[in-house]
């Protein structure tokens, strides 16, 4: 079953209005790598690149925000200075 347009719109809105500004305020950038039927792939650069705090940021900030929109989506978050070729910068709204 494909992700509905409303969930897709809600997710992209949340990424640009909630997560991207929050992460940027802390010296990071959020990239959307892929958003498919059951999986959301994000990439984070900046202070979270190689930081021991990255898993905590994913578990306590990013994952709950994503789950609030779609608790069934599989979240994959990578971090580092090298951005995947397919990634698109999520501009804060």
CATH at residue 28: 3.30.300.130
* 34: its two tokens: 């892929």
Label residues 25-64 b or e (16+ Cβ within 10 Å = b).
Answer: eeebbbbbbebeeeebbbbbbeebbeeeebeebbeeebee
| Residues 6+ away with beta carbon under 8 Å from 64 | none
d(CA 82, CA 27): 16
pLDDT in tens, the chain (93 residues): 344 465 689 999 999 999 999 999 999 999 999 998 799 999 999 999 989 999 999 999 999 999 999 999 999 999 999 999 999 999 999
Which parts of the chain fold into alpha helices (H)? 5-14, 20-25, 54-57, 63-69
In this prediction the pTM is 0.91
The domain in which residue 48 lies consists of 5-89
CA dist., res. 63 & res. 52, Å (int): 17
Number of domains in the chain: 1
């Amino acid at each position: 079953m494909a992700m509905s347009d409303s969930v897709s719109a809600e997710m992209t809105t949340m990424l640009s209005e909630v997560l991207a500004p929050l992460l940027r305020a802390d010296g990071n950038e959020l990239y959307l790598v892929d958003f498919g039927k059951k999986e959301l792939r994000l990439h984070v650069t900046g202070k979270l690149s190689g930081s021991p705090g990255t898993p905590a940021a994913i578990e306590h900030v990013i994952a709950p925000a994503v789950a609030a929109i779609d608790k069934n989506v599989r979240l994959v978050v990578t971090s580092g200075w090298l951005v995947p070729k397919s990634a698109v910068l999520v501009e804060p709204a």
